[in-house]
């Protein structure tokens, strides 16, 4: 599927109109990729010409394209899509050497076949600041005081990572928290706001928060409604793209913190049928490695760091350096991967489904501190019959009920994605420990039928 990117000159106070265009039955259809409230980013970066800005624009286009092409209609095998696209950039000579590496990065991230090229950005001005704006409403930043830049999603992992960093700051230093909001998936924005409201009491004047709004319009320009893919696998590269653009303004820093427990990053498949493209890779070590390589080839000076890449979620919870703040804020965070699918929830007032893998890892982790008290859409611990369980839960039963040695885990990790041999032992131990966390949680709190299904004494 060929996607053409069309940009129109910016209007006062707005980002340039960006359209993703494709041909359907000989007819050109296009949908607007909204990059709204761009002033929040521009107030910090004050430019739209750097390599960092190029990367932000590339990442936004990738995110929009991934959402636009629903696999139900555009994959050739039920999952994989072939996507041809030309990215508009300011610094084309820098990006050309990165084509092959960036293609491999996107292939791995979304499970598709990307064919990418670059063209010189033809629109001279992509953003025009408002001429008249109250100076009191324009934030001021002391770049030399920024000690770290971290992604902040509203999930439990990014919450713990942020608490750890903020709690270690010296008096005159601040952290920069970077978020993303897509109006089509509006839950994370509220999660972020609730946590930040608490942070205003716990970490007074210790952080700055900048959130980008990027997402597709609901309809094509002809008025027909779009059908989204909805997997959001490319959200991680958009998050990183936003941070890279802002980081370009902080001369003393080059590192973007990506707080994610190592278990989710590796995403060891529950069954053989769930390996490869069916296993998400949004913060997988190989994805971060390839993205780092792409940035280096393009002369983009960033370093990507996941400080928890070999930690289970439970280890993160237990070792958080401010237990008081975490205890107040963890109920405000959301880890669920299926929060918008409430059709089969027994409690539809809950914020999290309770039976997807992120929810299971969350509950097992919080149990280590005696904090597994959230309300979920479904309570995994009350399941009594495997035949009545949803497919994801049956896959989890298969995973937990199958004896698995460290050798077995190593083999599965190598099949599921490229792992450095030097890291294989540490990652195998990580998977082993994460399995133990879940089994201990079930042993302590599960009903008898659940324990019998999994042969837990």
Percentage, residues of the chain above pLDDT 90: 73
Q: Is the pLDDT of residue 147 over 90?
A: yes
Please report, for the chain, the start and end positions of each structural domain, with discontinuous segments joined by +: 2-128+212-247, 335-453
Instruction: Identify the pLDDT of residue 272.
Output: 59
Residue-wise pLDDT for 184-227, tens only, equals 987 899 999 999 999 999 999 999 999 999 999 999 999 999 99
Residue-wise pLDDT for 106-122, tens only, equals 999 999 999 999 999 99
Q: Are 268 and 122 in contact, with CB atoms under 8 Å apart?
A: no
Residue-wise pLDDT for 343-377, tens only, equals 889 898 899 999 999 999 999 999 999 999 999 99
Instruction: Identify the pLDDT of residue 273.
Output: 53
The average pLDDT across 325-342 equals 91
Predicted TM-score (pTM) of this structure: 0.95
Residue-wise pLDDT for 38-60, tens only, equals 999 999 999 999 999 999 999 99
Supply the DSSP symbol for 117.
E
Q: Is the pLDDT of residue 392 over 90?
A: no
More confident residue, 323 or 232: 323
The average pLDDT across 309-335 equals 97
The average pLDDT across 92-107 equals 98
104 φ/ψ angles, rounded to the nearest 5 degrees: -65, -35
The average pLDDT across 119-141 equals 87
The average pLDDT across 245-249 equals 95
Q: Is the pLDDT of residue 381 over 70?
A: yes
pLDDT, averaged across the chain: 92
Q: Are 90 and 122 in contact, with CB atoms under 8 Å apart?
A: no
18 φ/ψ angles, rounded to the nearest 5 degrees: -115, 125
Exposure class string for 194-212: b at 16+ Cβ within 10 A, else e: bbbeebeebbeebbbbbbb
Name the residue with tokens 């000989």. Answer: 26
Q: Quickly count helices (H) and strands (E) in the chain.
A: 17, 10
């Amino acid at each position: 599927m060929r996607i053409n990117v069309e940009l129109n000159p910016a209007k006062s106070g707005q980002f340039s109109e960006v359209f993703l265009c494709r041909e359907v039955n000989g007819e050109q259809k296009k949908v607007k990729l909204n990059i709204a409230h761009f002033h929040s980013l521009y107030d910090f970066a004050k430019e739209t010409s750097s390599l960092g800005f190029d990367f932000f624009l590339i990442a936004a286009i990738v995110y929009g394209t991934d959402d636009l092409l629903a696999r139900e209609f555009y994959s050739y095998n039920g999952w994989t899509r072939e996507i041809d696209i030309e990215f508009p950039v300011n610094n084309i000579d820098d990006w050309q050497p990165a084509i092959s590496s960036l293609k491999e990065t996107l292939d791995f991230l979304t499970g598709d076949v990307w064919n990418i090229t670059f063209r010189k950005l033809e629109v001279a001005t992509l953003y025009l600041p408002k001429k008249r704006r109250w100076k009191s409403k324009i934030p001021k930043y002391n770049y030399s005081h920024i000690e770290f830049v971290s992604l902040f999603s509203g999930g439990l992992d990014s919450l713990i990572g942020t608490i750890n960093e903020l709690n270690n700051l010296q008096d005159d230093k601040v952290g920069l928290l970077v978020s993303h909001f897509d109006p089509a998936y509006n839950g994370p924005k509220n999660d972020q706001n609730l946590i930040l409201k608490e942070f205003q009491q716990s970490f007074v004047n210790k952080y700055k928060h900048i959130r980008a709004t990027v997402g597709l319009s609901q309809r094509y320009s002809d008025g027909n409604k779009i059908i989204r893919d909805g997997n959001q696998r490319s959200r991680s590269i958009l998050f990183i793209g936003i941070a890279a653009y802002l980081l370009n303004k902080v001369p003393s820093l080059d590192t973007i913190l990506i707080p994610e427990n190592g278990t989710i990053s590796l995403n060891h498949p529950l069954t053989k049928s769930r390996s490869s493209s069916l296993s998400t890779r949004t913060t997988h070590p190989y994805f971060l490695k390839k993205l780092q390589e792409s940035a280096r080839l393009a002369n983009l000076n960033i370093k990507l760091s996941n400080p928890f890449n070999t930690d289970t979620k439970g280890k993160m919870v237990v070792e958080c350096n401010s237990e008081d703040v975490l205890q107040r804020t963890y109920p405000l965070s959301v880890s669920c991967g299926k929060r918008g699918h409430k059709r089969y929830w027994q409690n539809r007032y809950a914020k999290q489904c309770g039976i997807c893998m992120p929810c299971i890892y969350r509950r097992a982790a919080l149990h280590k501190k005696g904090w597994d008290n959230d309300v979920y859409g479904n309570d995994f611990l009350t399941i009594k019959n495997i035949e009545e369980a949803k497919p994801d839960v049956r896959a989890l039963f298969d995973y937990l009920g199958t004896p698995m040695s460290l050798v077995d885990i190593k083999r599965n990790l190598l099949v599921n994605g490229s792992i450095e041999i030097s890291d294989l032992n540490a990652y195998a131990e990580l998977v082993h420990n994460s399995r133990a966390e879940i089994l201990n949680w079930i042993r302590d709190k599960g009903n008898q039928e659940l324990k019998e299904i999994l042969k837990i004494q």
